Amino acid sequence: MGIRHYLRHAPSVTAAEAMRLVDEGALIIDVRRQFEWNRNNIPGSIHIPLDELPRRCEDLPDDRLLITFCTGGLRSAGAANMLIEFGFDARNMSRGLIDWRAAGGALHGTANTASPGEAADSGNS
């Protein structure tokens, strides 16, 4: 993924909007690293780490809105721009896991609150 994917503001939705869009058929793409996914993940989301997205995006449906997701919204913004460049209808979930939790979104996994390392990572997400 090139720096250009981070230079443009990706179309975005809030966590509350993402929940509504998922109910309407959108698909959440979690671009976090494996250990982050193992810790917790959104039920029904698809896990494709950011560095795998260019080669695995051909497996994604092209007839659904894709909502990219990470801890704080930075990695997923680049992912949304990349998917748009590849011809997908994609949006970034701004503030990612932070706002998903605040909005009361469901999570699978062991941690339902941000750990100190996760909170620190949210700025680099």
∠ CA 8-11-14 to the nearest 5 degrees? Answer: 130
pTM of the model: 0.83
For the segment 8-25, the average pLDDT, to the nearest whole number, is 93
Residue-level pLDDT at 3 = 53
Residue-level pLDDT at 116 = 39
Sheet of 27-30, strand order: 12-13, 90-93, 66-69, 27-30, 46-47
Residue-level pLDDT at 124 = 44
The residue written with tokens 């981070």 in the block is 6
Residue-level pLDDT at 10 = 86
pLDDT digits (tens, 9 = 90+) for 33-52: 999 999 999 999 999 999 99
- Rounded (10°) CA dihedral 75, 81, 99, 20: -140
Whether 115 shows a pLDDT value over 90: the answer reads no
